[in-house]
Copies of this chain bind each other. A is one copy, B any other.
Amino acid sequence: MTMPAAHPSPPKYQSLAEHYRSAIQAGSLLPGQRMPSLRELVRQHAVSLSTAMHVCRLLESEGTLEARPRSGYFVRTPERSRLAPVNDPPMQRAPDPAQYVGIHTKVSEFLALGRMQRFKTNLSTARCAPELYPSQALNLAAQRSLRQDPEQLVRAAPPQGCLEFREVLAQRAMGAGMHLSANDIQVTNGCTEALNLVLRAVAQPGDTIAVESPTFYGLLQTLESLGLKALEIPTSPRTGISVDAVELALRNTQRIKAVVVIPYLQNPTGSIMPSSHKQALLRLCQQHDVALIEDDTYSALVDDSVLREEPLRAIKSWDDSGHVVYCASLHKSLAPGLRLGWVSAGRWQTRVEMLKFAASRSNERLAQRAAASFIASAAYDRYLRRLRSILATQRTQTAQAVASYFPPGTRLTVPRGGLSLWVELPHQLSATALFHAALAENMVIAPGTIFTNSNRFENHLRVNCGWPFTPEIDHAFARLGQMVGALAHATSGAKAGRLAAS
């Protein structure tokens, strides 16, 4: 910063504070991001420790930074973009007996509408932009594999999956506290096939499966297609499924054969189950002898700040009875174009292997080998750290946009990882109405209603934060905010009309 010579220089701490104030206003430092430490300030700007402290206290006093105990200073979220968290459901409520009521048709209609044309802005998916995934490294690995084993496309692949891929998966599973061997793993066509096989292994048509509510629509579609009934269990956007409600359900409902949960970054809410909840849920499932199906699709996207508090720990890591079926996939965290999932099914492993063979035989080798080679390299963890940091930024930017543009009363909990936000509209406004209004302007969102068989979550929506927050996306949120405002206006107008008519 150059200063006019005519004026006396402001004190060093003021010019340095102004430097950071501008950086924050320009978006170089985002709300929630960590301010350089005092030590870093001293080193980078060649100032004394007391000047550095002065800078931070000044920025704190004016509301630009906030101090967090034992963590340092962080950029404060501006008042205007502070949203109340999404409402918790009544967690002790008896489970909703809503079973299949045409979810597949409902979801299919939304999906079909969402695919009808190329959209300007698609906020409905749960995927990152292609450039965030390591396509070059995977391409090279695939080409290397084709050179090293030129007959792989014309030789039948092993039914359980390629050994080198299963070995890498088993090694990585150690990072979540699991002790698996390659033999405990069956490779599948994505987590979707894994869930299909597992549900068929543990249940018969007509049986009931307890699921989170809301849950991802793919699970509801799978349950319907298999003739299984979904029992929706209240789920907190912060701590996940209500273990008390699961207990109530297991006591009072016949033929529950499994509980399906996403402990890390639940889809759509982004909740993370505390360890104590995971262990309590496992004990429940063991006592009632039902399968606990753990979908671990998103744990690679959990923020590093969470991992510093407590390392990853799969429910399966505590399982001493074979009741936990662990499923995962690389679809979200590594490569949406590869259909790579896997399952370690505990006491149902042999049956799952038989069902996989009867359902689709082996997976192709090439994808497994390309993935195995990349995951085994040091580049994989570097890639994941970078992805998580980018996603953290994009989540913050998206949350800011919702806070800035959506009308008062909108609620939002920013998850501690992942690529989606779960937004609650004020005044019971309909996200389905918003979906249709957005569609008319070439934008797609995912309305809350597709994440349940019941009529809950009608005023919720899931938005994707996997794409760089461009001016176009900012504009889309501004437009969505206006649409929500118009819906609110129409609703209050209608209410006023009803009042006037009554």
Contact = CB atoms under 8 A, between A and B. Distances in A.
Interface string A428-439: 000000000000
A353 to B, nearest CB: 9
B155 A337 contact: yes
A23 interface: no
A142 interface: yes
Contacts of A357: 221
- A interface majority secondary structure: helix
A172 interface: no
Given A339-B361, A363-B339, A366-B366, A133 B154 contact: yes
A339 B366 CA distance: 11
A226 to B, nearest CB: 8
A192 B360 contact: yes
| Assembly stoichiometry (copies) | 2
Given A339-B360, A360-B196, A360-B339, A108 B154 contact: no
A205 B143 CA distance: 44
Interface string A350-372: 00001101111111111100100
A222 B218 CA distance: 23
Contacts of A53: none
A85 interface: no
A362 B139 CA distance: 20
A358 B104 contact: yes
B361 A190 contact: yes
Contacts of A492: none
Interface in A318-353: 331, 335-339
A225 B355 contact: yes
Interface of A: 104, 108, 125, 127, 130-131, 133-136, 138-139, 142-143, 146, 150-157, 188-190, 192-193, 196, 200, 204-205, 218, 221-222, 224-225, 227, 331, 335-339, 354-355, 357-367, 370
